[in-house]
A and B are shown apart, each in its own frame.
Chain A
Amino acid sequence: MTNSPARIAIASGKGGTGKTTLATNLAAYIAEQEEVVLVDLDVEEPNSGLFFKGDLIHEESNFKMIPQWDEPKCTFCGLCQKVCNFHAVLQLGPTILVFPELCHSCYACSELCPTDALPMISKRTGKLSDFRINNLHFVESRLDVGEEQAVPTISKTKQYSNENYAHLRIEIYDCPPGTSCPVIEATKNADFVILITEPTPFGLHDLTLAIETMRTLKKPMGVVVNRYGIGNDAVIDYCQKENITILAKIPNSRRIAELYSSGKLIYQEIPEVKELLSNILDYCLKASKGDIE
């Protein structure tokens, strides 16, 4: 365990609170000192890559495994349809239909078929790309539009990063919004989770859900309050009451919004943000080693 990187996941509950802003700025800040990998796991709408212009090191397709009917071998015993809990395999008269978007790749139909008439084949679901910008490695996957299942792609992307960048000290995950299966997949191997929110009623409501989710996963976590100064103090009060560390308050600023909107990194222009990043990083590294209770 001692040699694997500290995995810091940046998640939020509510969308648009600043996950990508924090992930890209933190990664670029770390890269000033050492090699680091940033992994964009928001595979439905990956945005981190918009902030970096780097060299493409590697590219590959992402696949999911689905069964394919091998007609001559089929005895129409009906077992495949019976064992599929997702209604992805259907026997219709003398035909077996497979619905790839419903398939969860559990292999039950394929492996339980008595005549091997449903071998698993791979189907493209998107693309993984690996870029390098000096010390910064940036890995992203994007789901092909129309593909619905993000989880297998997220899992595959983490695996790629683990295989290629296990020697680094820090790995950063930019996670999808929400609290459902994609977020669980993106955060479940993290050593520390940063939840970023804004001090508004929507921000607070979704933060409470995100905290509940991370508690279910038993993850150490801290909160970053973005756009601090708008809204009210309810988020701060809530974190204090729940005994959750506030790692930083990033001030509300039109300048930050403008920099972000043009795809620029913020800390390079605003020294105050650089200091906040340094504090956040220190805390995350200590906490992921278990030095902070």
Chain B
Amino acid sequence: MKEIVIISGKGGTGKTSITASFAVLGGNNAVVADCDVDAADMHLLMQPDFDFSEDFYSGELATIDANNCIRCNKCAKVCRFGAISIRSMQYVIDPLSCEGCGYCARVCPTEAITNKNRLAGKWYISNIKTGSIMVHARLGIGADNSGKLVAKVKNEARDIAFEERKDIILVDGSPGVGCPVVSSLSGANFVVLVTEPSVSGLHDLKRVYELVKKFKIKAGCIINKSDVNPKKRDEIVGFLAEENIVHLADLPYDENFTSAMTQGQTIVEYDQNSIKTLLTSSWERIKQLVINQNHNR
């Protein structure tokens, strides 16, 4: 069982469209994990049936029982997150600011504060159009702990892949370099970096690759919209060579990506020509690299 994670650093480079294409190419042998739980979009292309769903609780949230509150102000004094305020003579907790540390409840002399488990989102197991299974999620508005929901989605996908004897787990990661990305990288066998030839694309690629290096995971890169700025494209290729990252493909700027999306299709279903050929050979190359890695170990 091999785990392939697709990330980008910068958002909007085509990460999800490319992951969805690989899911189609991988067919029923690839379990999909949409770990971009903040702005999960894979389901729009995969026709999921939401076969199973469950609430996801993570962390805690303080609440004040006004009847027991003697307004001593101790809770507000210890809260480092500015989550406790006085509204019409009553102490109240702002759920968006509360981090659930529980300090307030510990110093409350009348036990007026209790901590409850916080509903952080929902996660799903779906049958999808590739004949395989997708694990996906939706993070609650403003929820903390997206890293934990990512871990949940990944672990469920691993269990399913193991039980169903699937060889591949495809993970759609989130933008950035913070906690959800760290969480989606842990335990991965191969990373596909999707970038674009722009100052931001290269800048973010370098940062996110710094993170990948910390995990010592082998990586390949797809340069999307490669013809928008040939000079930047060459700069990226130089960076890839320097860092020993496999240059998987250059994809030309193509509005068929969007046209496919508006029809709920991946680009490899919609376009029968150049992009499909490029992505298919990238996918074969990735599989080869992942398998070879096995021999080397």
Interface residues of A (CB under 8 A from B): 13-17, 20, 42, 44-45, 47, 50-51, 83, 85-86, 104-108, 111-112, 143, 145-150, 176-184, 188, 200-202, 205-206, 209, 212-213, 216-217, 230-232, 254, 257-258, 260-263
In the complex, which of the residues B39, B144, B204, B232 contacts A47, with contact meaning CB atoms closer than 8 Å?
B204
In the complex, which of the residues B80, B115, B204, B258 contacts A231, with contact meaning CB atoms closer than 8 Å?
B258
**Would you call B228 and A179 a contact (CB within 8 A)?**
no
**Would you call A202 and B99 a contact (CB within 8 A)?**
no
Q: Which B residues lie within 8 Å of A20 (CB)?
A: 200
A177-B11 CB under 8 A given contacts A106-B80, A149-B179 = yes
Q: Which B residues lie within 8 Å of A112 (CB)?
A: 103, 106
**Would you call A209 and B39 a contact (CB within 8 A)?**
yes
**Would you call B101 and A85 a contact (CB within 8 A)?**
yes
* B78 contacts A by Cβ under 8 Å: yes
**Would you call A47 and B102 a contact (CB within 8 A)?**
no
* Cβ-Cβ contact count across A and B, 8 Å cutoff: 182
The smallest C-beta distance from B146 to any residue of chain A, in angstroms, reads: 5
**Would you call A145 and B11 a contact (CB within 8 A)?**
no
**Would you call B142 and A258 a contact (CB within 8 A)?**
no
A148-B178 CB under 8 A given contacts A213-B142, A258-B228, A261-B229 = yes
In the complex, residue of chain A having the shortest beta-carbon distance to the beta carbon of B204: A45
The smallest C-beta distance from A22 to any residue of chain B, in angstroms, reads: 13
Interface residues of B (CB under 8 A from A): 9-13, 16, 38-39, 41, 44, 59-60, 78, 80-81, 96, 99-103, 106, 115, 139, 141-144, 146-147, 174-179, 181-182, 196-201, 203-204, 207-208, 210-211, 214, 225, 228-229, 231-232, 253, 255, 258, 261-262, 264
**Would you call B207 and A45 a contact (CB within 8 A)?**
yes
In the complex, residue of chain B having the shortest beta-carbon distance to the beta carbon of A215: B141
Q: Which A residues lie within 8 Å of B197 (CB)?
A: 261
In the complex, residue of chain A having the shortest beta-carbon distance to the beta carbon of B147: A148
In the complex, which of the residues B44, B142, B253 contacts A257, with contact meaning CB atoms closer than 8 Å?
B253
Q: Which B residues lie within 8 Å of A181 (CB)?
A: 142-144, 146
11 A-B interface contacts by CB (under 8 A): A42-B176, A44-B176, A45-B177, A45-B203, A107-B80, A146-B211, A148-B147, A177-B176, A180-B143, A261-B197, A261-B198
In the complex, which of the residues B38, B80, B196, B225 contacts A177, with contact meaning CB atoms closer than 8 Å?
B38
The smallest C-beta distance from A28 to any residue of chain B, in angstroms, reads: 15
Q: Which A residues lie within 8 Å of B179 (CB)?
A: 148-149
Q: Which A residues lie within 8 Å of B178 (CB)?
A: 44, 143, 147-150, 182
A15-B200 CB under 8 A given contacts A104-B99, A150-B178, A180-B143 = no
In the complex, which of the residues B60, B196, B199, B231 contacts A50, with contact meaning CB atoms closer than 8 Å?
B199
**Would you call B39 and A261 a contact (CB within 8 A)?**
no
The smallest C-beta distance from B264 to any residue of chain A, in angstroms, reads: 7
The smallest C-beta distance from A9 to any residue of chain B, in angstroms, reads: 14
**Would you call A47 and B203 a contact (CB within 8 A)?**
yes
**Would you call A202 and B177 a contact (CB within 8 A)?**
no
In the complex, residue of chain A having the shortest beta-carbon distance to the beta carbon of B144: A181
A231 CA to B258 CA in the complex, in Å? 6
Q: Which A residues lie within 8 Å of B60 (CB)?
A: 85
Of the listed residues A16, A150, A201, the one surrounded by the most CB atoms of chain B closer than 10 A to its CB is A16
Q: Which B residues lie within 8 Å of A213 (CB)?
A: 141-142
A202-B228 CB under 8 A given contacts A146-B211, A149-B179 = no
**Would you call B207 and A145 a contact (CB within 8 A)?**
yes
**Would you call B103 and A107 a contact (CB within 8 A)?**
yes
The smallest C-beta distance from B132 to any residue of chain A, in angstroms, reads: 21
**Would you call A145 and B175 a contact (CB within 8 A)?**
no
**Would you call B100 and A212 a contact (CB within 8 A)?**
no
A200 CA to B139 CA in the complex, in Å? 21
A104 CA to B80 CA in the complex, in Å? 9
**Would you call B101 and A205 a contact (CB within 8 A)?**
no
The smallest C-beta distance from B272 to any residue of chain A, in angstroms, reads: 21
The smallest C-beta distance from B294 to any residue of chain A, in angstroms, reads: 28
Q: Which B residues lie within 8 Å of A145 (CB)?
A: 177, 207, 210-211, 214
**Would you call A179 and B39 a contact (CB within 8 A)?**
yes
A178 CA to B144 CA in the complex, in Å? 12
In the complex, which of the residues A13, A44, A188, A230 contacts B177, with contact meaning CB atoms closer than 8 Å?
A44
In the complex, which of the residues A146, A201, A212 contacts B262, with contact meaning CB atoms closer than 8 Å?
A201
Q: Which B residues lie within 8 Å of A85 (CB)?
A: 59-60, 100-102, 115
In the complex, which of the residues B100, B174, B177, B203 contacts A143, with contact meaning CB atoms closer than 8 Å?
B177
In the complex, residue of chain B having the shortest beta-carbon distance to the beta carbon of A182: B178
A145 CA to B214 CA in the complex, in Å? 9
A16 CA to B143 CA in the complex, in Å? 22
In the complex, residue of chain B having the shortest beta-carbon distance to the beta carbon of A148: B179
The smallest C-beta distance from A195 to any residue of chain B, in angstroms, reads: 12
A16-B141 CB under 8 A given contacts A106-B103, A261-B232 = no
Q: Which A residues lie within 8 Å of B139 (CB)?
A: 179-180
Q: Which B residues lie within 8 Å of A217 (CB)?
A: 96, 142
Q: Which B residues lie within 8 Å of A206 (CB)?
A: 39, 41
A44 CA to B201 CA in the complex, in Å? 13
Q: Which B residues lie within 8 Å of A104 (CB)?
A: 99, 101
**Would you call A261 and B106 a contact (CB within 8 A)?**
no
**Would you call B106 and A15 a contact (CB within 8 A)?**
no
Q: A16-B11, A105-B80, A254-B253 are in contact. List 10 more A-B contacts (CB 8 A).
A: A15-B11, A104-B99, A145-B214, A178-B175, A179-B142, A200-B258, A200-B262, A216-B141, A257-B228, A257-B253
